[in-house]
Amino acid sequence: MPTHGGQIAFVGGHKNNHETNPWEVAAREFEEETEHTQENIEFIGYLPAVMTARLLPIIPVVARLKISTDQFMQEVKSNGEWDHILAYPWAELIQEKKWEFAWRNGYTRGPIMFYPIHSGSYLPHDNNQRDHLLWGATAAMIWDFLRLYFKT
């Protein structure tokens, strides 16, 4: 997105007037942004809200792919909101020593999580083989998921 160029982010977006819960929003956004049907995902639950640097809440929705990662990566198509998509193993993300943080001083004071993703350590859907930095709200959501699911 123009406002988040170069950042790693999950599929997601804003609620439409007729949608009644975050799962409906997430399922619709999944279809719009990947061209996969929502029948390919199974709702698991929600994570605690994450506040952006501008104090806007993000409600993370957790879902499980009902198709293989390989099938997803082969069939995924961008609607123009993203340039690259990658699959990264949870076994790597749960290694706490690879995470770093810094303090954010702004509207509030809090930690910003960072996780380097190195070329060759992830499955790209295209020729994307560069290093990436996972940080900000996306990293906070993953950190919360790791703490709740893996109890690390």
The answer on pLDDT for 1 being more than 70 is no
DSSP 120-144: TSSEESSS--S-EEEEHHHHHHHHH
Give the domain 10-150 fold.
Answer: Nucleoside Triphosphate Pyrophosphohydrolase (3.90.79)
Domain boundaries along the sequence of the chain: 10-150
Please report, for residues 15, 133, 148, the alpha-carbon distance to residue 12 in angstroms, rounded to integers and kept in the order given.
9, 19, 21
> For residue 2, what pLDDT band results from cuts at 50, 70 and 90?
low
To the nearest whole percent, how much of the chain has pLDDT over 90? 68
Query: Model's pTM, two decimal places?
Result: 0.87
Write the pLDDT tens digit of every residue in 105-149: 776 777 888 999 999 999 998 888 899 999 988 999 999 999 888
> For residue 151, what pLDDT band results from cuts at 50, 70 and 90?
confident
